[in-house]
Amino acid sequence: MSSIPGCTKALQEIKLDSQVKMLDCPGVIFEKDLTRNQLILQNTAKYGDDLEEVIEAIMERIPRNELQEHYKIEPFNNVTEFLAKVCRAHGKLGKGGVP
């Protein structure tokens, strides 16, 4: 069992106590030719510590105007700009006003 996508190769049964068993099984991907962002959203691709890639995958599925309306921000051009505007709109700034 692992938090790393693709690590589980076979079904495993783990006994937690006398009444609870946990099943760890490989994920099932039915579609072929998935994009990297689709694989990230299914948690079947490694993306490391850089969550901008994950946010970009989510942003591909949500229209920009809905994101702007939901977060009450001005139009943006990319993930970095989106995150900065969300931080500023919600007062999440570090030292020196850095989002």
Task: Compute the distance between CA of residue 55 and CA of residue 96 in angstroms, rounded to an integer.
Answer: 25
For the stretch 17-74, pLDDT in tens is 999 998 877 766 556 777 877 777 777 667 777 788 888 888 988 999 999 999 999 9
Domain boundaries, the chain: 1-61, 63-99
How close are the terminal C-alpha atoms of the chain, in Å? 36
Predicted structure pTM score:
0.61
Q: How far apart are CA 84 and CA 4, in angstroms?
A: 29
Contact 59, 43 (CB under 8 A): no
**Tens-place pLDDT, residues 36-50:** 777 777 776 677 777
Q: Quote the pLDDT of residue 71.
A: 94
State pLDDT tens for residues 2-16.
666 666 777 788 889
